[in-house]
Structure 1
Amino acid sequence: MIARRVVVALGLAQLISWGATYYLIGGFGEQIAADLGWSRDIVYGGFAAALLVMGVTSPLAGRWVDSRGGREVMVAGAVINALGCAGLAVSHQIAVYFASWIVLGLGMRLTLYDAAFAALARIGGPEARRAMSGITLLGGLAATVFWPLGHMLSEQFGWRIAVLAYASFALLTIPLHLLIPNERFAGVQGSVSVAPKPPLAVGRERLAAAGGLYAVIMTGANFLNAGMSAHMIAVLSGLGLTVTVAVWIATLRGIGQSAARLCEVLFGRRIDPLALNLAACLIMPLSFIAGLFSGSSNAMAIAFALLYGGCNGILTITRGTLPLILFDHRSYGTLVGRLVVPSFILPAAAPLLYAVVIDRFGDASALYLSTGLAVMTLVAAAMLKLLFGRAP
């Protein structure tokens, strides 16, 4: 059983880490472009470079957590995040800007959900599902907290001081990460022990099928998350909302994420992770369809933010819990570290691709693109449920 203080500390660290790194470009991207006179391709290309670094370093990070534990890895990641934010704050040349994002890419891989989930799987084994859901409750509020916070800081002091403040926030996660224990799960203790269920993907063919479909689902979800994290505010304002209204409606995404995750914590033990994953993938295209009507209806814009936040929040949980039932938990960090490589490398193109699509075809085109990608993810989730809905 993972201690509650560890779950709370790691959840708070996730809130800060996501807000100060991954959601940074969504809050400051347009200001950086306007201040430095750079094109959107350059500004959002830096974030794309960070996602690419996350993919390249993913297998190494997974093995590091498996061998040394999450505490050492995530403390190092917090320091690296702070260095990356500080580099962005003093950037005046494109080379320095991109170098800072490359540093942030490594820091994000060592501190965000994939590292945290691997750390929890190392501590709790198959029993880590509830803890994984728990840390996402706070982590899901990152955009809700940091987008308005960054907006207020940048209006008062400029975007550079705001990003420098983010560097200090990243350092605040170090004492939280130090609470992560280093021991490894050794099985259920007590006189009456219950053997853990065998993984569903047994055998080379089933392992390949499960791994491939899992990679497709997570790549699709990450691609959409990267695109929306970078451009959601800009898309909403481009469809007709004022910037201030767009910021506040976009923050509802975090409310939707945490509300869905709270429901999973309360009732998720009764729901098969495969069915939960399929339900989230079913809601996702509906959220983007609602988003197409955001310019003419604030209610539809709110529905878009809440629904997308909700399904993205559930997919974040199933990202961690599906491998617990599909694969052997003892190699969680190493195996998942390899499987999520495409979910970092391909989404690295999302911020840049969305910027090009918006510039050439308009803001609504970003939502049409998102709907198509969401349908692709839904098909993969349906196939995973069909093939592995029952134990072999």
Structure 2
Amino acid sequence: MPTPTTAKPSDGDSPRGMVATWALAVAQLVSWGSIYYAFSLFVVPMETAMGWSRTATNGALSMGLLISGLAAYPMGTWIDRGHGRHVMVCGTVLAAAMLALWSQAHSLAMLFVVWAGLGVAMAATLYDPVFAVITRDFPGTFRTKITLITLVAGFASTVFIPLTQVLVDGFGWRGALLTLAAGNLAVCLPVHVFAIRRDAPREDRSGHEVASRAVNAAATRRALRTPAFWALAMCFTAYYATFAALTFHLVPLMTERRASPALILTTMAVIGPAQVLARVLWFTLGRNVRPAVIGVVITAAFPMSVVVLMIAGTSPAWLILFAIVYGGANGMMTILRGTIVQDVMWTEGYGAVSGLLSMPSNVAKGIAPITAAAIWTIGGSYVAVEWTVLLVSLISAVAFILAMRFTSERKFGGRQANFE
């Protein structure tokens, strides 16, 4: 049974479709930059002003990411049922409200409440929901549109890490949060209101809901019986756990090494362009390459970047190399994550299957930062954290190879397929 959709085959190439895609890309840049990447810039100012511990602040973040993981599946099913606009509009309003509330936090309890709300907001506004919206509304051109969105959003860290630092320096961490909240309302809210198709008409909603539920249930059952799904789940869980642990601890890690603030900001700023460059290379050179090849490159590149970081010290050249490899791997992983289900499994009930696939990886994202903080506390340095990240990232690479092997066996009756 095909996924119910109101999209027309030609809509993806229409002016309206391209404008909507560019608008959603800009909204993703703002959402990722203000909700996700800005956090690391608030850790030290909050700890200094409020006396909170590194473990406590990362605990709030971890809880938010955990909630985001648990909310991923219901968000995907609601989008499959035609409620993409409601999901992303409400998510944007919630994100702005939580950022504003965070600016008034004077206790750890309030910080945890804020990140509980931000967890739901992330599940409703970041890549997973927008990929589901694009796949549903533009089934004929979703790959190109997902790539375009990730190209623009790849600059989120490049734009928002320096911008957030400027805001913190100029207005304090509380004023910076209020500014980021206003940015969500000014940019993301109108985009999600006008760029996403209207929800299913009320008179057609009953039949639409029944059809969508049937598609989602069938797609979910099929996924849970597919070995490739479980291997991909392990791959993405291990990958995003290590990525979250490293992303949220990268600034404190380099600070511990006594890297200069300028070098830290430069290293962080390189990650975004590296993501975008990798996505451009994929878009121009890699579209005819099998997903298996791209996936092996990506999952091998991430542990390589960790090794570079471990030996980099405070060398600008090595840290820039780390940022290039690290950003490039993550840049391509985002596209792989957005298209691999359609490429090696199916498109029916994509929102539900993608949400189901995201649940363990988003839960791991939630656990990873606080786990890394605990390892740092026990060891007294980030060396043990780096070794843990390296080992778990290798698990991700092995799991992806297994996923491709299972896919080959399913498609070719047990005969192994070459990665080329």
TM-score (norm 2): 0.85
d(CA) in 2 for partners of 1:276, 1:57? 29
Query: Quick check: 94-103 or 244-253, which moved more?
Result: 244-253
Report the counterpart of residue 276 of structure 2 in structure 1: 258
1:107-137 superposed Cα distances (whole Å, 9 cap, x missing partner): 1110000001111111122631111111001
Query: Quick check: 252-261 or 68-77, which moved more?
Result: 68-77
The answer on 1:82 being equivalent to 2:101 is: no
1:122-169 superposed Cα distances (whole Å, 9 cap, x missing partner): 112263111111100111111111111111111111001001111011
Runs of 4+ in 1 over 6 A off after TM superposition: none
Task: Please report how far the alpha carbon of residue 243 of structure 1 lies from its aligned counterpart in structure 2 after TM superposition.
Answer: 2.6
Report the counterpart of residue 328 of structure 2 in structure 1: 310
Task: Please report how far the alpha carbon of residue 228 of structure 1 lies from its aligned counterpart in structure 2 after TM superposition.
Answer: 2.1
d(CA) in 2 for partners of 1:17, 1:380? 30
The answer on 1:175 being equivalent to 2:194 is: no
Change (3 A) 1:205 1:231: closer
Give the letter for the 2:44 counterpart: E
Task: Please report how far the alpha carbon of residue 207 of structure 1 lies from its aligned counterpart in structure 2 after TM superposition.
Answer: 4.6
Change (3 A) 1:44 1:215: same
Q: Judge conservation of contact 1:125–1:330 (CA < 8 Å) in 2.
A: no
Q: Judge conservation of contact 1:49–1:348 (CA < 8 Å) in 2.
A: yes
Report the counterpart of residue 417 of structure 2 in structure 1: none
Report the counterpart of residue 322 of structure 1 in structure 2: 340
Change (3 A) 1:183 1:126: farther
Report the counterpart of residue 115 of structure 1 in structure 2: 129
Q: How does 1:176-325 map to 2 (within 5 A)?
A: 176-177=191-192, 178-182=194-198, 207-325=225-343
Report the counterpart of residue 62 of structure 2 in structure 1: 48
Query: Quick check: 322-331 or 15-24, which moved more?
Result: 322-331
Give the letter for the 2:103 counterpart: A
Task: Please report how far the alpha carbon of residue 302 of structure 1 lies from its aligned counterpart in structure 2 after TM superposition.
Answer: 0.7
1:9-44 superposed Cα distances (whole Å, 9 cap, x missing partner): 111111100011011221211211111101111111
Change (3 A) 1:251 1:207: farther
Q: Judge conservation of contact 1:227–1:351 (CA < 8 Å) in 2.
A: yes
d(CA) in 1 for partners of 2:279, 2:225? 28
Report the counterpart of residue 203 of structure 2 in structure 1: none
Change (3 A) 1:206 1:70: closer
Q: Judge conservation of contact 2:229–2:403 (CA < 8 Å) in 1.
A: no
Report the counterpart of residue 387 of structure 1 in structure 2: 406
Of 345, 368, 385, 1:366 maps to 385
Give the letter for the 1:380 counterpart: A
Residue 27 of structure 2: SS of its match in structure 1?
helix
Q: Tell me, which stretches of 5 or more residues in structure 2 are unaligned?
A: 1-10, 201-218, 413-420
d(CA) in 2 for partners of 1:374, 1:162? 34
d(CA) in 1 for partners of 2:155, 2:169? 22
Report the counterpart of residue 76 of structure 2 in structure 1: 62
Report the counterpart of residue 25 of structure 1 in structure 2: 39
The answer on 1:331 being equivalent to 2:349 is: yes
1:282-314 superposed Cα distances (whole Å, 9 cap, x missing partner): 111110000012224211111111101110111
d(CA) in 1 for partners of 2:96, 2:149? 21
Task: Please report how far the alpha carbon of residue 182 of structure 1 lies from its aligned counterpart in structure 2 after TM superposition.
Answer: 4.3
Q: How many residues align?
A: 376
Task: Please report how far the alpha carbon of residue 204 of structure 1 lies from its aligned counterpart in structure 2 after TM superposition.
Answer: 5.5
d(CA) in 2 for partners of 1:224, 1:145? 23
Q: Tell me, which stretches of 5 or more residues in structure 1 are unaligned?
A: 185-200
1:59-78 superposed Cα distances (whole Å, 9 cap, x missing partner): 11011111124222111111
The answer on 1:72 being equivalent to 2:86 is: yes
TM-score (norm 1): 0.91
Q: Judge conservation of contact 1:123–1:183 (CA < 8 Å) in 2.
A: no
Q: How does 1:4-19 map to 2 (within 5 A)?
A: 4-19=18-33
d(CA) in 2 for partners of 1:258, 1:21? 20
Q: Judge conservation of contact 2:28–2:153 (CA < 8 Å) in 1.
A: yes
Q: Judge conservation of contact 2:88–2:129 (CA < 8 Å) in 1.
A: yes
